[in-house]
Structure formats: structure tokens, C-alpha cells
Chain A
């Protein structure tokens, strides 16, 4: 069994030693763990997102707390020593980015989620200046405003992508949610607006309810392997539509070597991993790579280039399997469990 297959790939114009990319999570944002990810063989790192909302919130609240109670009582005209400059959330992000960039020999991709048009551009520029090899725009939003149509939302997203594109020269990826109503159409327009690649998909954490406290709480649930199916379908569909000039990253549910292989075969340039790394630690990259190599050796694949897109919608025998037919077949393949059929279930 050969383990010398060529794993190199290209993503956003960057040459990667491996298609396994550590996606945005706390461990990519810390210099120590980032280094371990690199040592374990990651092809690139995507830093956690810089959220403009968080930057603003922190700045406002921090100033508020420093000013609380000031100039009210003659004995205590303030409560803190003079605080001149301080590093806000964005400054700290950029400092970490620079630090990780300095130490890493693999590409470091920053991620940004802004709320204002100016914020996207301003932060993107700073991120570029801080040395990021590429930028991933995390276009995260919940379309809860009933007055805004799908078209409005798409137009706004495209506008910000174009604005960022005009402002920076580093490669640009756009991380999309699967919830766009006409995704294939929109994906093309995203590329036309200036994206060098797409990251499919953003995985939203859904709020939960704490029954004791009767409060809405945020819970982070790590992804499972089955969650890869959704990006697989869309990568398979989009790969032939977008052509080879556009990079595609698969994210959500990549846990093992076989998951990564599937993602690549339907057309992804890279397979991004988050949950598996949080679950098993940075060294899991190594495990996944070994699994990939083993499968490739067994099936006599020489390189990632060879298998990439080999099972896209354009390349499979039954293209409809990735569209509606797939849905119908799945239902038809379902067989009712016997205990339900006999009515014995309670």
C-alpha cells in the first residue's frame, strides 16, 4: 500500500500541502493550538470570525463601565486609573492573527462577520494589512425581518462582497448558509461579485431553552458525519456550474478520512474540519490524513488532483441523484420498521 500520494491542492489560489483545513474554532485562534494543527498536517488555518457586533458592543460597554459613577461624588471622581489606549476586540484579533501568521508556514485565513457596510470594508482592510493570506467572509444572518425579501437580502450580501473585493487584494472566500432560496443562482452571483471561492456551509447554532431557568440559552453542538451530506450535494451541483477557477471548501461533518474524500470527490478543493478537532484535538488531522492516504493507496489514487471532482454532478453516472430524484429514492428506500407495522409500538 502506497502512502505517498500527492495531497497538495489549491484553494483560493493558495498552494496547500493538504486539503485538510482547520476551520474557524477556538483552537485555530490560539497560537499554541494553531501550531499543533500545523504540526499535525493541516493544509491551512481559518481563524475564528471577528464579529463587528462584538467589537462595537465591547467598546461601548467598556467605555460605559469605565465612566460609570464618574463625576458624581466629590471623593471619587472616577473609579479606575487613567486608561488611555486599549486593545479592542478587533485589535486583539489582529494581534493574534499577526502572531499566528508569523509562526505558521501554512496559509492563515482570517474570517470576518460585520454588520455595517463600512465595518466589512474597514475590518477587511485591517485584516489584509495584518498579513492574512486570505479572507473568509462569514455572511451570517438570520433573515427574521419580515419586511426584507430574499432579493433584498441577496442584493445586500452581493453589495458587501463587491465592496470588500474592491478594498482588498487578498483572496476572498464567502461562507454561505444553505438557506438561500436559489442557491445555484446566488452562488454564481457571489463569484461574479468578486469571491474567489465558496465555503459550504455555515452551520448555525440554534438557541435552546433552559427549562429550569426558563431562559433562552446558546448551546454549541458539535457536528456529526451525516451533516456532510448537505454540502456534498451542493458542491456536487455547483462544481460543474462554477468551473474549476472557483475554489470550494466543504465544511460541516468532516470527521474522518472517508468524509474528506467524499467532499473532495464531489468537487471540493479542501475539506474543512472543526467539530472533529474540538472533539479529538488538533492531532486528529494526522489521523484523518492517514485514513485518506490508506484509502487512496488501496484504491490506487496518486493524488488529490486526480480524485477531486471525480464524483461531481457532472461526473456521476446519474446526475439526478443529486437533485430531486435523490429525494424520491431516499423515501422509497425507507422501509417501515416491523414493530411499527405490526402495531406493537406503544
Chain B
């Protein structure tokens, strides 16, 4: 039969089928399933019909719980419905899943299976999510490859309609969801052939209608519930048969034959591995190699997990089997075994207990765990499992892929073992930076090879944990046979390094095989390049006899106006050197691919790419190997850290050697030290800011906007620079309060991302050359060596006493030490300046509850953490619970803090006789309203601790308790931080409740107006007229006024801020929020890469948002004073139209270019939104309102902190 081949990833493969077979698709973003929902939304926006000619209704909900609820409702009405999810998202769907299954409702949820957060969040793949859903009553079908994700999506939709049992169709997150593979795609006729009309019509007839009303979802009592629950048994019993039939029909049409459980291997195998999901590919390869070597081994691949097809599974096993190893990709702590293992044990026991036992003697069965959070599963890990199965007493509950030196469960890894690669296959590795287009080019190459030749192809892409300057590794395999290797390439025929600088950071040739080809993007020509290579790279080249080629891709890209996008320069070189296609044909196909991508967006980009392609091969140079020099000795940056953990574990993580760490090296409970980003020294900036002290006006603006805290301002006594290194710059600090002090603005040259925001906001210009500011971007190579010692010296200068300057000015706040630094956020991030400012103002006495999202990722994604401590060891304590519960999480912290402080005060009173009445009185009554007062209280607590240690006798126990609680006698703030996805959508219910609680928490909403972390999906904060994912046709409704909802409570301090528009107002608002003894909500306008703006001008966009009236600045300070005016409008009347602000951002401009009429209509409404809001806010500003309220219990004094702040306190 004729097949149509396409290169797709697993997400698209599944989504294509799901879309065609659905009428209602309720969605919510979650990694790694989001692309399925994004495809559905894109297709619906483009008017693509489903199988019945109708465009499905694709609706974004406020959470996965909402998506499941909407899906449930649609199904009840008789509409075909689906959804896509993963991980915690699936967990939120479970209550509805029980209902949907209990009502025998056909439905499919497609899951890109992902780790559930436990001691840590992980976006990567394993089966912990789907295994958690197995009691909900859904059939569970596991796909192990991109082709299977496509085929089984159809099987699931067809079988659910036929069986009435809902299906959870899952495949491995990232490994399958993001792998691009060449697959045979199903046509509408294939789909129609499997999805029977009669099943669809029967389903629709069961839908609720007032023409034939029924009641569903009753409450039942002990008399009947149990029987009713058993009534559905026949439907579950029928499922395996139905799936078998559906798979058979699929096989008949497509030639792709699947069983519920398929055996592969020696017909007389004695040892068999049972596995589900993508790992089966690697096991299959291992089995083939071992069988070829004469070993009696096999693989049993489970496809239908529930209802567990025990008969099929037992029947599929060769009768010769003596030992079975069952592999689970999940962990259930405390369980007797993991789910697949337990199911196999039960199935085998029941079979052996039957009338005709299938085996002469019961095979031994052991279970093991592998691949949690996408840990690699390679033949080198699989072969030892077969060996273990042959042992006299094999290890039960083993693990593979790690070294467990604690409970000693792990099997060894046989690193010498490799499987034979298919003849004619080529494995290629590409190491690049995210920004250079390497991955995009490789995705294009996959399609060129896969769709343009007879070759099979696979592409898999690794990204690091940073959002700026991230390193990417592309793994491409192509060859004449279908590719089943579900693991990374470790014996590459071809290696390309797209960035010369990475040679020093990444062992790029580690996975090059002997005689491989190496292509390097080198700024150095033939005469220089060898000598510029690090010694270990030279050594690898020589030892492995590598064929070495270079090209100066940046030079070519610059010549044709492509900037740093070197993808189309490198791509022809790969094709040429790998020989996959003749040069001319390769060039023609690359051009065709470029044209396909860009032609409909204009000609200029196409022309530039073509020029790059045409020039590439002529600039490719072969380099003869030279003599290898000595390997470079790199000292670990963590060497000086006093913490052993940092020197040992963090150092290994930074070096990319986390896989080698044994179990004993890791914390048992996910607790990690803070303050480790400073060791990364990523040196990713091409340009860094350089300070000109002569021009500087001490304003502090450069420091307050810096997203990575890499521009610092310090004020110090003159003597502090007496021994400064030569060239260290400082200037007189102009302040009446602090005479004889100097000031320095210093860049951290290896931590700066080069975003340029500091230079953009610098207001001080040279009088003789206006383009020269007090701070200027300069090429890093000219300044790094100068600035490094200056930064080191700068850090050695003691911080100014916090109480010496008022904090309610930009300058005053920027003298404070940032306790959030060098995060992995995007260059120019609009969120991090707010967080850094909060850490400066309150960091030494704050606890952070951080919602999942960008801020939790750049805030705590290993290898390092940006939250840090001051010289006294104090700093923010930070924790993340979930996406949806962050407000409640933070409230819990407040409740605990209050309870503990109360308890401490109580104990203090009781212990007064031994501690001293005066000290107790001071501890209980002293004000903590100023920095100085806080320091005094800390000193009292220290004295208290000294006394408590000595307490003995009857009061000893109470003294010991007070010792653990004494720290809470110093006031601490709870900061609840998260993005708009959390605050406006998934976490809104909790946020609202916490606002209503009256408790003293500070909530900072970093409002980027989209779900930034998952790639820019619309939230209820997304403005009208903006194009975002899930609002591909432009959001029609206006942004929710979250502040208005909070203000309605009356006793909530609410501020709307925009640092780029008014850094001073932002600072004041944060101080007032912290000082307010009840709940505070600060909504911070945060520019984001998802806005489609030049991030260098991040602050200018923030300013324009305010100037246009789009984002008014205000503070709502609840007032108890009669005739008080609580609402203070801090920004002036709009001076530019909203359209002018919108015109500069791609999120709005997209619609103007794709649907100009709709864009124009929405723009008119957007202006009306702004006008109306302004009119309303202006009126609010004149309203006199007193808000009676009682401070919540346990929130301490109404007075709060910070010199200069809170002068408007009631």
C-alpha cells in the first residue's frame, strides 16, 4: 500500500488525529504537552475542519481541572471531546476522570507523560503521572514511538467510542513528544475506516437533551452504590478485545501490526524484559544484538496497560521463559513494587494457578525502575538487566542508569557494550547556542532528509536549563532502516560545533567516534585555528583521527545581514560533509525549505538566507591535524566555597556531570543551598556595560533595571578604595547624609548577559558627545580582563550599613545588596528587576512562596540557585509548592510564622525569670519599625539564645523549644511571588481567598500578560488585540482588572507598578506593601520576550504602556481615616494613543498583519478599554472612603519597617 511519509514529533502526531476526531477541545498549557494544544488552537484559528467538516471549538480553560470539567460537560451533551496534558495537569483532571469513566463516556486524553513534582519539579518524562491515574477507570494505551503516538491516538479514539470506556493515550514526554521522526501518516480514509459511524451516533444519542430528559450524576446510598459500580464490568472486560480488533483493522489498512503486548526476540528466550513506552526501542536493539550473539533473550512490549490484558501478555511470552524483568518508569515509595511489576506478578500467578498453566515452572519475576525524569535508558544499561536475570539470586526492585550507593539497588552500567548500528546509518551531533538557530536548522534538515529522500530520520534536541545563552545539542540519525534508538547519540559519525567558545565549556568531541568528521565554526582561519584550540580538543582530534573542517560562519552571516543566525551557513556544510545528499541537490533542498518557511512573510529574509547558503561551501576549509598540546587545567569556581556540598555536588552539576553523581551525593529531601549562580560564570555577553564615572549622576537607574543584578552600585567610605587595583573607578558620592563617601558602579563581566537595558535607561549623557552615556555597551573582549579584578575587588568592599540611607528612593534602594543574582532568566527579562528589588529591600528577613512558572524556573532550576545571602548569612528562604496553590502556600507560611512568633512570645513570658525581665520586655515590646530597630532586636535574640542554652532543670524543655523559635521574634515578611497565569487563572481562587483572609502577606504578581514559561499562551491578563498561543486569532476580550477585584475587599493594599515608567513609584509601592499589616497585592508590569519586543528597550516599552494609559500606576492604601482618599493615581493622563504603544510590539502587530480588519476593530476597543479605565480611575482618585478593618490576629504591630517608608501610614 502507498504510504505518505512526513517528519513529525510525537505531539503533532497525536494531535493531528485527536483534532480530526473532536468537536470540543478544552486545553491548558503544561510542558511537554502544550504543543498538542497549540497545534489544535492554530488549526482551529486557520479554520481547519475535523473529520466531519466542522472546525472544533478549542477553548482554553483556567486550569487542567477546568479543562477536564469542560470536557466532561461537552461529553455529557454528546459532543466528542478531548484534551491534552501531563504531570500535575493530569492529577488535576483525575476527579473528573473518575466521573467520566463512571458514566461510561467515550473520551480520550492524550498525555505526554511527565514526572510529578516531589522533592523537585521536573519537566521531563516518566510514567509517574499516568500511573497515578490508573484507578480512575480509564483504559491506558502506551505508545513507544512517534509512529505509535500517531497510530494509537486513532486506536484510542476508535476504541473508546466502541467500548464506551474512556482512554488515556500516553507516550513519553520529550523522548517521544519532542522527537521528530519520519512516520507514515494516516489519511482521512484510514481514520474513517476505524471510527465507526454507528459508535459516534450511539454516543451522541446518549447525550443530554431536554427532549428526552434523564438524570446523570445522582447521589447513591449503601443500598445500591456497590452493585452499580460493578455493573460496568462487562464494558471493561470487552476493552482488550475491542483494542485488539481496532489494531487489527489498522494493520490491515496500513501494514503496521500491533498487539496488546508484542514479543520480540529469541523464540526460545529464557530471559525476557517487560517494558512499556519508548524504552522498548532501546531494549529491542539490545535484544537483537544479544540474540545475534546467541543469547536466549527477548522483549515483551506492553501496549495496553489497562484493562490489563493478562491473557494476551502471558500468551505472548515464549514458553521457555525462566526469568522476567519488569521495568517501571515510575517510583511508588513504600509499595511492594511498581505498577507494571505488580500487574505482571498477579497475571503470572493467576495464569499459573489456572487449569492449563502456561509454563512448566513459574518463571522468576523481578521488577526494577529506570528512566525517571528522562534519565537515559541505553543498551549499556539494559544488558546488565539480562545478566541479572540470569543470576542465581537476582536483585529485586533494582534501578538502572544511576549509581545507588545508599540502598545499593542499582545494577551496573556496561559502558563497553554497544549495539550494532544499521548499515548505512549516520549519527550526527550539533552543539550550538539557542540563539544561533542551530536547532531550527536541524529540524529543517530532518524534514529535508526524511521527506526528500528514502532515508529514515530521527531528530532529538537537548536544551539546558537557562533561558538566556543556553547551549543546545541536536541529535540526528538517518539511514535506510526505521530508527528505533530511543536514547542520545554516543558514537557520532559527524560532530558540528557552531560556537567556538563552547570548545572550552563543553566536551564537544566526547561522543565522536574514531574517524568522525568535525565541523567547527571558527573565527580563526587555517593559519591560526589549530593553535587556538584547547589542548584537550587537539588531543581528541589527533587520537580519534578526526577529519577536521572549519568555516567562519559569523563572517558569512554578517556579510549577508543575518546577524548571529548562522544556521543556513552551517547547514550546507553538514550536508556536504555528511554526504547525505549531493551538494547541488542539498543546496536546492535547503533553499526550498527556507522558501517554505519565509516566502509568505516577504522576500528579504529569503534573499538573505539564500545568500548565506550560496556562500557557505566556498568558505568551508579543511584543516590538517597538528600536534596536540597539553590538556587545559580548569579550576573549579566553587573551590573557595566553605560548603562541602557546593564544592562537591554543585561543582559537578555545573560541569555537566550530574549523571555521574551517586545517590548518596544528593539531598534526601530536595533541600539545596542558595547563592550558587555566582559560580557559573557563563560569560555569554558579547558586549558589557562599561561605566564612565565622569558623567555619572548617581541615579542608580542602571542598577535598578538590571535583570541579572550584574550592574551593582556601592557606596563606601573613601578609605575603602585605598588599596583598589589600578584602574578601579569610583567617584564622590553626593549626599548630605553621607559625607566623605565614594560610589562605584561595577559590572560583573562574566555574569552579564549583555542585554543593554542599563544603557537604554541611563539618563546621563556626555556634554561633548551626546551618544556617550555614563554607562555604555562595549565589546566584551576589550573589557573582560579589566573588569574581572575590578569586580572581585568591588565584592570585597563591605556593604554600606542598611540604616544609613533611606530606602524609598531609587538611589537609596540600589545601595542595598541584591540577594537575588545571576539568574538564568532571559536577557532583558522584565520580571527579575522587581524580584531583585524586593530582595534588596527585604531580602534579609523574607520567606518566599513562589508559584511554578518562569520565576520558579530561573529562581531554582538546577544546577544553581540565584537566591543568595548577605555577609551575615541572612537571605531569602524560598520554596515552591505548585502552580495552582501558591497563595495558599504562602498563607500557610504566614500562619506558621504567626503561630511560632506567638508561641515564642508565650514561652518568653514563661521563661522571663531565667532569661531576665528587662530582656523579655524589650523583646516583646520594642519597635521593629526601622532598620536600626531590627538590628537591635536581632542582638536581643542573640543574647536570648545565649541565655537559653544555659537553662537547665524544669524549664529546660521550654528553653529548648524557645531556642528553635527565637528567630521568629524578629519580624519577617512573607512574599508570595508568581506570574499572571497563576494569579489571574489557575491560582486565582486561592489568591482571592488569601486576599480575603486579612493576613499579613505580600503578593507580587509579575504580569507578563501571558504564560511566559510555557511559551506565551494567553491568560486572563492577556490584553485585547494581542496574539498569543491559545489566542492565535487575537484575544477578543479585555484584560481582567485584578487590582479592582482586590481593592473591592477594602482592606487590601493594592499597587500597580511599572518600573520602566516610574522606578521611584515601584520602590515606594513595594515598601508600602511590606509595611501594610494586612494583605498586599503589587501587580508589576513585566516585559517579556513573548511580547515580541527588542528586550534592550524593555523599560521603554514599560514607559509607553503607562504613557498611553494602558497601564496606569496607582497605589490603593486602605484608609481608616474618615474622608481618606485611599486611591492614589501615580501616573499622569495618557499622552500617546494606545495604538502607538501597540504598534511597537509584535504580539499586537501580528494581527495587524494577518487580520488587519479584526486588528483595527480590536485596537479601537483596546483604546476604549484604556479610556474607560482611565476615566474610572480618575474618579476613584477623588473618592473619599474609609475602610473599617481589624488587623488580623497575630500580624503584630501596625507599624512596619524601612526608613523613609510608610509615612502615609494610618
Least CB separation from B602: chain A residue: A59
Bound Cα distance A56, B463 (Å): 32
Bound Cα distance A115, B470 (Å): 38
B153 vs chain A, min Cβ distance (A):
20
Bound Cα distance A76, B38 (Å): 12
Are A59 and B439 in contact (CB-based, < 8 A)?
Answer: no
Q: A66-B1092, A73-B463 are in contact. Are A86 and B601 (CB under 8 A)?
A: yes
Query: Which residues of A sit under 8 angstroms from B857, Cβ to Cβ?
Result: 75
Are B440 and A70 in contact (CB-based, < 8 A)?
Answer: yes
* B1153 interfacial by beta-carbon distance below 8 Å: yes
* Stretch in B662-670, B1009-1017, B1187-1195 with 4+ CB within 8 Å of A: B1009-1017
CB within 8 A of A62: which of B438, B601, B1012?
A: B601
Query: Which residues of B sit under 8 angstroms from A60, Cβ to Cβ?
Result: 561, 604-605, 608
Are A72 and B1150 in contact (CB-based, < 8 A)?
Answer: no
Query: Which residues of B sit under 8 angstroms from A69, Cβ to Cβ?
Result: 434, 467, 826, 1089-1090
B1052 vs chain A, min Cβ distance (A):
32
8 Å CB contacts to A: which residues of B1065-1098? 1089-1090, 1092-1095
B459 vs chain A, min Cβ distance (A):
12
* A81 interfacial by beta-carbon distance below 8 Å: yes
8 Å CB contacts to A: which residues of B9-49? 31-32, 34-35, 38, 41-42, 45-46
* A331 interfacial by beta-carbon distance below 8 Å: no
A81 vs chain B, min Cβ distance (A):
4
* Stretch in B96-104, B1027-1035, B1175-1183 with 4+ CB within 8 Å of A: B1027-1035
Least CB separation from A68: chain B residue: B1089
Least CB separation from A78: chain B residue: B1015
Are A81 and B1146 in contact (CB-based, < 8 A)?
Answer: no
Bound Cα distance A67, B604 (Å): 15
Are A83 and B1012 in contact (CB-based, < 8 A)?
Answer: no
Are B1156 and A92 in contact (CB-based, < 8 A)?
Answer: yes
8 Å CB contacts to A: which residues of B535-589? 561, 563, 565
* B534 interfacial by beta-carbon distance below 8 Å: no
Are B1016 and A76 in contact (CB-based, < 8 A)?
Answer: yes
Are B1149 and A62 in contact (CB-based, < 8 A)?
Answer: yes
Query: Which residues of B sit under 8 angstroms from A59, Cβ to Cβ?
Result: 601-605
CB within 8 A of B1027: which of A77, A80, A92, A214?
A: A80
A301 vs chain B, min Cβ distance (A):
45
Bits for B589-608, please: 1 = Cβ < 8 Å to A, else 0. Answer: 00000000010111111001
8 Å CB contacts to A: which residues of B96-125? 123
Bound Cα distance A55, B604 (Å): 9
* A324 interfacial by beta-carbon distance below 8 Å: no
8 Å CB contacts to A: which residues of B1004-1025? 1012-1016
* B795 interfacial by beta-carbon distance below 8 Å: no
Are A79 and B1154 in contact (CB-based, < 8 A)?
Answer: no
Are B1089 and A81 in contact (CB-based, < 8 A)?
Answer: no
Bound Cα distance A64, B1093 (Å): 10
Best-buried of A77, A86, A87, A95 by chain B (most CB within 10 Å) = A77
* A74 interfacial by beta-carbon distance below 8 Å: yes
Query: Which residues of B sit under 8 angstroms from A26, Cβ to Cβ?
Result: none
Bound Cα distance A67, B567 (Å): 13
* A218 interfacial by beta-carbon distance below 8 Å: no
A281 vs chain B, min Cβ distance (A):
19
Are A72 and B1015 in contact (CB-based, < 8 A)?
Answer: no
8 Å CB contacts to A: which residues of B765-789? 765, 770
CB within 8 A of B123: which of A55, A75, A78?
A: A75
Are B1014 and A75 in contact (CB-based, < 8 A)?
Answer: yes
* A85 interfacial by beta-carbon distance below 8 Å: yes
A85 vs chain B, min Cβ distance (A):
4
Best-buried of A66, A74, A88 by chain B (most CB within 10 Å) = A74
Q: Is the interface of B mostly helix, strand, loop or mixed?
A: mixed
Query: Which residues of B sit under 8 angstroms from A332, Cβ to Cβ?
Result: none
Are A72 and B1154 in contact (CB-based, < 8 A)?
Answer: no
Are A74 and B1015 in contact (CB-based, < 8 A)?
Answer: no
Bits for A275-288, please: 1 = Cβ < 8 Å to B, else 0. Answer: 00000000000000
B19 vs chain A, min Cβ distance (A):
14
Bound Cα distance A85, B321 (Å): 59
Are A63 and B601 in contact (CB-based, < 8 A)?
Answer: yes
B34 vs chain A, min Cβ distance (A):
8
CB within 8 A of B1015: which of A63, A75, A83, A84?
A: A75
* A300 interfacial by beta-carbon distance below 8 Å: no
Bits for B174-203, please: 1 = Cβ < 8 Å to A, else 0. Answer: 100010000000000000000000000000
* A65 interfacial by beta-carbon distance below 8 Å: yes
Are B41 and A65 in contact (CB-based, < 8 A)?
Answer: no
Least CB separation from B853: chain A residue: A75
Q: A65-B1093, A214-B770 are in contact. Are A82 and B1032 (CB under 8 A)?
A: yes
A125 vs chain B, min Cβ distance (A):
14
Are B1013 and A76 in contact (CB-based, < 8 A)?
Answer: yes
CB within 8 A of A77: which of B605, B1015, B1032, B1156?
A: B1015
Least CB separation from A56: chain B residue: B604
Are A72 and B604 in contact (CB-based, < 8 A)?
Answer: no
* A71 interfacial by beta-carbon distance below 8 Å: yes
Are B600 and A86 in contact (CB-based, < 8 A)?
Answer: yes
Query: Which residues of B sit under 8 angstroms from A95, Cβ to Cβ?
Result: 1156
B1112 vs chain A, min Cβ distance (A):
24
* B972 interfacial by beta-carbon distance below 8 Å: no
Are A55 and B472 in contact (CB-based, < 8 A)?
Answer: no
Query: Which residues of B sit under 8 angstroms from A78, Cβ to Cβ?
Result: 1015-1016
Least CB separation from B603: chain A residue: A59
Bits for B1125-1157, please: 1 = Cβ < 8 Å to A, else 0. Answer: 000000000000000000000110110011010
8 Å CB contacts to A: which residues of B1160-1185? none
* B466 interfacial by beta-carbon distance below 8 Å: yes
Are A66 and B770 in contact (CB-based, < 8 A)?
Answer: no
Least CB separation from B608: chain A residue: A60
Query: Which residues of B sit under 8 angstroms from A77, Cβ to Cβ?
Result: 35, 1015
* B461 interfacial by beta-carbon distance below 8 Å: yes
Least CB separation from B1016: chain A residue: A79
Are B1092 and A80 in contact (CB-based, < 8 A)?
Answer: yes
B668 vs chain A, min Cβ distance (A):
27
* B435 interfacial by beta-carbon distance below 8 Å: yes
Bits for B455-487, please: 1 = Cβ < 8 Å to A, else 0. Answer: 000000101001110101000000000000000
Bound Cα distance A75, B608 (Å): 30
Bound Cα distance A86, B443 (Å): 23
Query: Which residues of B sit under 8 angstroms from A76, Cβ to Cβ?
Result: 467, 1012-1016, 1090
Are B470 and A72 in contact (CB-based, < 8 A)?
Answer: yes
Bits for A285-297, please: 1 = Cβ < 8 Å to B, else 0. Answer: 0000000000000
Are B601 and A65 in contact (CB-based, < 8 A)?
Answer: no
Query: Which residues of A sit under 8 angstroms from B123, Cβ to Cβ?
Result: 74-75
Are A55 and B1092 in contact (CB-based, < 8 A)?
Answer: no
Q: A62-B1146, A75-B1014, A88-B1153 are in contact. Are A80 and B1029 (CB under 8 A)?
A: yes
Query: Which residues of B sit under 8 angstroms from A85, Cβ to Cβ?
Result: 600-601, 1154
Bound Cα distance A69, B1010 (Å): 15
Are B601 and A71 in contact (CB-based, < 8 A)?
Answer: no
A212 vs chain B, min Cβ distance (A):
10
B221 vs chain A, min Cβ distance (A):
47
A225 vs chain B, min Cβ distance (A):
31
Interchain residue pairs with CB less than 8 A apart (27): A59-B603, A59-B604, A60-B561, A60-B604, A62-B601, A63-B605, A65-B1093, A65-B1146, A68-B1092, A68-B1095, A71-B437, A71-B438, A71-B439, A71-B463, A71-B472, A72-B463, A74-B31, A75-B31, A75-B32, A76-B1016, A77-B1015, A78-B1015, A79-B1090, A83-B1150, A85-B601, A86-B601, A214-B770
Q: A69-B1089, A80-B1150 are in contact. List 18 more A-B contacts (CB 8 A).
A: A59-B602, A65-B1092, A66-B1146, A68-B1089, A69-B434, A69-B826, A72-B463, A74-B32, A76-B467, A76-B1016, A78-B1016, A80-B1027, A80-B1147, A86-B1153, A87-B1154, A87-B1156, A95-B1156, A214-B765
Q: Which residues of A contact B (CB under 8 A)?
A: 55-56, 59-60, 62-88, 92, 95, 214-215
Q: Which 8 A-B pairs have the closest CB atoms?
A: A72-B434, A76-B1015, A85-B600, A59-B602, A81-B1032, A71-B439, A86-B1153, A79-B1016
